[in-house]
């Protein structure tokens, strides 16, 4: 089968369902010049069975799975374990759900860093700790045959939690071809992961500056609390903990997305997971479910999810109206997003300038004076002043 039989590159999410399903192992993922991975069929091994084109979830309506609530059953809340909440990106819903699964003898599939943070890969909680899974890694994970690994666990009857981006959840169901009673799926609200070129450039920049390899790295440090977002790294004795928009990665994040993500197929009623989770952006600070260390928005989309969320002892939650839950993430959940005008220009600068932070000055987001002042305050002052501001995030 030739490569033209796969869905065109501008629509391919890189979900790897085709790679997983191929009976001859004829598909490998190749990184392109912009740092995105695409499937490539090795024609000398391919037996032309068509399994790869059949499994691809893009452009197809799902026929075997229906969710019970399309975003109408929504909650705001946070993990009551303070340590877990601090180490998670949002309100730590993932940690509460993962605990429920492991306490019941189940296995969790999530993503972790590898090779000094250069790679992001899927792994099972039998091999890595739940702690390593915590935190958003804003590049697409290598799947490593995860869909078939999850299937093997499901066939044993064990409880399985699979966490991923909406395209990865759709890929899992496409490979499984059916739902399982012992499967819980949880998708992240998704603005699209960034290219590995900008992730690498950020790590290169840190290592050039401090002349040490990176020993700690997170895109969601809670230096100021949940917001503003900060990127934290440790290189030798040096600690870098800087407001997102000032970092090389933060400047590039809006531009360095793969084309398919601007017009993501897996939105609204095409989202298939039991749970959809994210940051409860635009929450009112006075709400009972608000926590300044992070607040999760959770959509329970199936009866199974509804039952489970009521059993999570460590997740303090309040049911909220659909429009309240949607307002901070409407585009990510419901509609296509605009391709930034300077995307092509940005990608050209990224591939020629790499870790040269100065080269990205013209791509920096415009901030109001008020925001600039707020973001330059010492963290303790910022946190103190926030107590008197009861507005919306
Ligand atoms: C690329 C990307 C874009 C996102 N965009 C938005 C957005 O626009 N709006 C919003 O509200 N939320 C977004 N999120 C989700 C948000 O950042 C949090 O991941 C989510 O709220 C879960 O937080 P938590 O505190 O419950 O989990 P945590 O305790 O932080 O655990 C993180 C969980 O996410 C999984 N995970 C982390 N990185 C990846 C990855 N690259 N691919 C697959 N799974 C991963 C981990 O395995 C773990 O299960 C995005 C996440 C990613 C990875
Ligand atoms: S199955 Fe996934 S990786 Fe393969 S062609 Fe389709 S979208 Fe791309
Ligand atoms: S925006 Fe859509 S296609 Fe892109 S990574 Fe997210 S879920 Fe997948």
Q: What is the pLDDT of residue 1?
A: 62
SS3 assignment for 147-189: HHHHHHHHHCCCCEEEEECHHHHHHHHHHHCCCCCCEEEEEEC
Q: Is 43 exposed, middle or buried (0-12, 13-18, 19+ CB in 10 A)?
A: exposed
- Residue 290 placed within a domain: yes
> Are residues 70 and 43 located together in one domain of the fold?
no
> Are residues 163 and 188 located together in one domain of the fold?
yes
> Are residues 96 and 50 located together in one domain of the fold?
no
> Are residues 233 and 286 located together in one domain of the fold?
yes
Confidence of residue 384 (pLDDT cuts 50, 70, 90): confident
Q: What is the pLDDT of residue 197?
A: 98
Residue pair 19/38 in contact (Cβ under 8 Å)? The answer is: no
> Are residues 189 and 316 located together in one domain of the fold?
yes
Q: What is the pLDDT of residue 64?
A: 79
- Ligand 3 midpoint to CA 70 (Å): 18
Q: How many other C-beta atoms are found inside a 10 Å radius of the C-beta of residue 350? A: 26
Q: What is the pLDDT of residue 393?
A: 62
- Residue 246 placed within a domain: yes
- Ligand 3 midpoint to CA 385 (Å): 36
Point out the domain boundary residue: 29, 55, 81.
55
- Residue 249 placed within a domain: yes
Residue nearest atom 8 of ligand 2, based on CA coordinates: 12
Q: What is the pLDDT of residue 381?
A: 80
Q: What is the pLDDT of residue 361?
A: 96
Q: Which range of residues forms the domain containing residue 23?
A: 3-55
- Residue 47 placed within a domain: yes
Ligand 1 neighbour 92 (Cβ under 6 A): yes
Mean pLDDT value of segment 290-311: 98
- Residue 259 placed within a domain: yes
- Residue 60 placed within a domain: no
**The domain spanning residue 51 has which CATH number?**
3.30.70.20
Point out the domain boundary residue: 31, 55, 79.
55
pLDDT of 390 > 70? The answer is no
Token pair belonging to 356: 């040269």
Confidence of residue 141 (pLDDT cuts 50, 70, 90): very high
- Residues having CB closer than 6 A to ligand 2 are 6-7, 12-18, 39, 56, 58
> Are residues 50 and 72 located together in one domain of the fold?
no
- Tell which wins on pLDDT, 77 or 5: 77
Mean pLDDT value of segment 337-347: 97
pLDDT in tens, 46-95: 999 999 999 999 999 988 788 999 999 999 999 999 999 999 999 999 99
Q: What is the pLDDT of residue 122?
A: 98
- Ligand 1 midpoint to CA 1 (Å): 35
> Are residues 335 and 224 located together in one domain of the fold?
yes
- Ligand 2 midpoint to CA 101 (Å): 29
Ligand nearest to the CA of 17: 2
pLDDT of 2 > 80? The answer is no
Confidence of residue 279 (pLDDT cuts 50, 70, 90): very high
Residue nearest atom 2 of ligand 3, based on CA coordinates: 264
Token pair belonging to 264: 């993501």
Ligand 1 neighbour 94 (Cβ under 6 A): yes
pLDDT of 105 > 80? The answer is yes
CA proximity to 240, closest of 206, 213, 212: 206
Q: What is the pLDDT of residue 392?
A: 67
pLDDT of 148 > 70? The answer is yes
> Please, what is the average pLDDT of the chain?
95
Per-residue buried b or exposed e for 356-371, using 16+ beta carbons within 10 Å of the residue's own CB: eeebbeebeeeeeeee
Confidence of residue 281 (pLDDT cuts 50, 70, 90): very high
Token pair belonging to 201: 């450039």
| Residue of 165, 168, 171, 173 to mutate, ligand 3, most atoms within 8 A of C-beta | 165
Token pair belonging to 245: 């928009």
- Ligand 3 midpoint to CA 391 (Å): 31
Residue nearest atom 1 of ligand 1, based on CA coordinates: 193
Q: What is the pLDDT of residue 287?
A: 95
> Are residues 111 and 177 located together in one domain of the fold?
yes
> Are residues 108 and 228 located together in one domain of the fold?
yes
> Are residues 258 and 286 located together in one domain of the fold?
yes
Confidence of residue 391 (pLDDT cuts 50, 70, 90): low
> Are residues 51 and 115 located together in one domain of the fold?
no
> Are residues 29 and 120 located together in one domain of the fold?
no
Ligand nearest to the CA of 14: 2
- Number of domains the chain is built from: 2
Show the CA angle centred on residue 112, arms to residues 111 and 113, nearest 5°.
140
Ligand 1 neighbour 283 (Cβ under 6 A): no
- Ligand 1 midpoint to CA 226 (Å): 14
């Amino acid at each position: 089968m030739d490569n033209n039989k796969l869905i065109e590159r501008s629509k391919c999410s890189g979900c790897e369902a085709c790679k997983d399903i191929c009976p001859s192992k004829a598909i490998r993922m190749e990184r392109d010049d912009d740092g995105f991975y695409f499937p490539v069929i090795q024609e000398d091994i391919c037996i032309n069975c068509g399994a790869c084109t059949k499994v691809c979830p893009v452009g197809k309506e799902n026929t075997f799975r229906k969710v019970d609530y399309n975003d109408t059953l929504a909650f705001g809340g946070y993990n009551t374990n303070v340590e877990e909440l601090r180490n998670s990106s949002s309100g730590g819903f993932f940690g509460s759900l993962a605990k429920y699964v492991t306490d019941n003898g189940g296995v969790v599939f999530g993503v972790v860093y590898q090779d000094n943070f250069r790679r992001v890969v899927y792994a099972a909680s039998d091999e890595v700790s739940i702690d390593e899974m915590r935190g958003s890694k804003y590049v697409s994970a290598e799947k490593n045959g995860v869909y078939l690994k999850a299937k093997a666990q499901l066939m044993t009857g064990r409880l399985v939690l699979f966490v991923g981006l909406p395209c990865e959840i759709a890929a899992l169901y496409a490979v499984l071809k059916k739902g399982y009673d012992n499967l819980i799926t949880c998708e992240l609200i998704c603005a699209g992961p960034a290219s590995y070129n900008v992730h690498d450039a950020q790590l290169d920049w840190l290592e050039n500056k401090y002349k040490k390899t990176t020993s700690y790295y997170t895109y969601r440090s809670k230096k100021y609390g949940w917001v503003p977002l900060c990127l934290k790294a440790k290189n030798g004795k040096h600690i870098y903990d800087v407001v997102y928009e000032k970092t090389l990665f933060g400047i590039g994040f809006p531009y360095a997305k793969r084309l398919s993500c601007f017009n993501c197929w897996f939105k609204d009623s095409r989202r298939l997971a039991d749970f959809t989770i994210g940051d409860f952006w635009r929450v009112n600070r006075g709400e009972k479910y608000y926590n300044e260390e992070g607040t999760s928005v959770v959509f329970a989309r199936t009866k199974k999810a509804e039952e489970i969320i009521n059993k999570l002892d460590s997740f303090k939650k309040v049911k909220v109206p659909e429009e309240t839950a949607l307002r901070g993430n409407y585009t990510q959940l419901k509609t296509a997003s605009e391709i930034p005008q300077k995307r092509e220009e940005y990608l050209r600068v990224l591939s020629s300038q790499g870790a040269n932070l100065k080269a990205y000055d013209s791509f920096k987001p415009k901030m109001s004076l008020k925001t600039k002042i707020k973001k330059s305050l010492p963290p303790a002052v910022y946190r103190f002043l926030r107590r008197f501001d009861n507005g919306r995030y």
